[in-house]
Amino acid sequence: MEEKDKKSSGNISRRALLGGALATAILPVSSAFAKYVQVGAPIDDPTKKLGPGPGKLGKRSPFEQPLKKPSDISSRTPLQDLYSTITPADLHFERHHAGVPTIDPAKYELLIHGMVDKPMKFTLHDLKRFPSVTRTCFLECAGNFRSGSEQLTPQDILGLTSQSEWTGIMLSTLLREVGVQPKASWFLAEGGDAAVMTRSIPVSKAWDDAMIVYAQNGEAIRPEQGYPARLLLPGWEGNMNIKWLRRLEFADEPWFTREETSKYTYPVKDRIRYFSFEMDARSIITYPVFPQKVERGWIEIRGIAWSGRGKVLKVEVSTDAGKSWNTANLQEPVLSKAHTYFRYLWYWNGDATEIASRVIDETGYTQPTLKQLAEARGTAIGGYHMNPITAWQIRPDGSVLFYPEKV
């Protein structure tokens, strides 16, 4: 017994480690400043109580609470809280025109008719029997831009973009099944929501890379994203990617529907632009941003860039208010029509400055300044397809604020 006590006197005994007495114990801890320092063990030491067992659904740590910001018609992805280019399905942005319908997958049907040889209906089971494809690409609302205040986060400014890994079938597979006639140059995609959302789409996109998807990030697509099936048009403005897809009609001209005339149509100088399919290349720094504060020394500036016309070729970062630009590192894989993560290591000396990013895509297009956009489109610039370079102010106290520009 005396021998046992001797062993315990020089070290923390196993009994003490397992007992509640450890809450007030003093432990030797390795330190960079001294060989040993003494610290009190935390009272809520997680090694002293059993945690919950396995569950039917996973959940985030209570210390991690990323949330979308909802309005009446949309909710925005917290871009500044993400660590890679894949958006968790429950944080994917939403934009709908009459709420989220409830559709029984057992009763779901997709009708394809018009200028086709064999008008057909497909159930969800039918769609899942065709060869499937998985692709990662972004979606973005055509009206994804907000400004006007220094106290905006990336989520506030352009949180209407997200990225998922989508699984479904190529639309070209169904086109061969129904026999689309050679003179058919457009098709109408119609949703099963209360707005009966409809858009006219060139048939060339259907043959190129359009998909009908029923899965997102490895699970059935979420109701807010079009359950049980939606149209996916990689790189094209979000509203054309019709959710809750129920009908495709083929013809030799566009329909000029409500959504193509009263919405998603805007002035470009002295002309009106009806159809604007591809989302233009853009980028945004997601760290450091408002309301974070930074310290002097090395800072990893990071963010995302993308283009609706193909791959991101290069991202440049300025740390001197646009006077000079430096090439950032791109995180592989760099995928076509997909968010691409970029990083740039910068030493901040404590002086006030502005940081910004700009992307160049594989077509050679360079993300413009707001002034360049206004010169090309006119001062009545509207809110669609706004992709100006976005800057952040760094103040001497380390605070970071958005830099809202005016046309």
- How far separated are the first and last CA of the chain, in Å rounded? 84
Asked whether 211 and 169 are in contact (CB, 8 A), the reply is yes
d(CA 156, CA 78): 8
Domains 74-148+160-260 and 282-403 share a fold: no
SS3 label, residue 381: coil
List of residues 6+ apart from 283 with CB closer than 8 A: 303, 304, 305, 306, 315, 342, 357, 358, 359, 367, 390
pLDDT at 54 over 60: yes
d(CA 222, CA 362): 32
For residue range 236-268, list pLDDT tens digits in order: 999 999 999 999 999 999 999 988 888 888 888
Asked whether 376 and 369 are in contact (CB, 8 A), the reply is no
DSSP one-letter code for 42: P
pLDDT of residue 143: 93
Which residue from 393, 283, 285, 303 is spatially nearest to 348, judged by alpha carbons? 393
**What is the largest distance, in Å, between two alpha-carbon atoms of the chain?**
98
Asked whether 326 and 317 are in contact (CB, 8 A), the reply is yes
Show the CA angle centred on residue 377, arms to residues 374 and 382, nearest 5°.
85
pLDDT of residue 43: 64
More confident residue, 6 or 266: 266
What tokens does 160 get? 């209407």
Stretch 160-166: mean pLDDT, rounded? Answer: 98
Class of the 282-403 domain? mainly beta
Stretch 201-209: mean pLDDT, rounded? Answer: 98
User: Which residues share a beta bridge with 119?
Assistant: none
The fold of 74-148+160-260 is Sulfite Oxidase; Chain A, domain 2 (3.90.420)
Asked whether 201 and 240 are in contact (CB, 8 A), the reply is yes
Stretch 266-295: mean pLDDT, rounded? Answer: 92
Task: Please report, for residues 112, 125, 220, 243, the alpha-carbon distance to residue 228 in angstroms, rounded to integers and kept in the order given.
Answer: 17, 11, 7, 9
pLDDT of residue 167: 98
pTM: 0.88
Task: Please report, for residues 14, 48, 150, 194, 347, the alpha-carbon distance to residue 25 in angstroms, rounded to integers and kept in the order given.
Answer: 13, 13, 48, 64, 42
Please name the residue that has the structure tokens 């809750």.
Answer: 244
Asked whether 244 and 101 are in contact (CB, 8 A), the reply is yes
Confidence of residue 42 (pLDDT cuts 50, 70, 90): low
Residues above pLDDT 70, as percent of the chain: 89
Domain ranges of the chain: 74-148+160-260, 282-403
For residue range 314-368, list pLDDT tens digits in order: 999 999 999 999 999 999 999 999 999 999 999 999 999 999 999 999 999 999 9
What tokens does 397 get? 């106290």
pLDDT of residue 271: 83
pLDDT of residue 102: 97
pLDDT of residue 36: 44
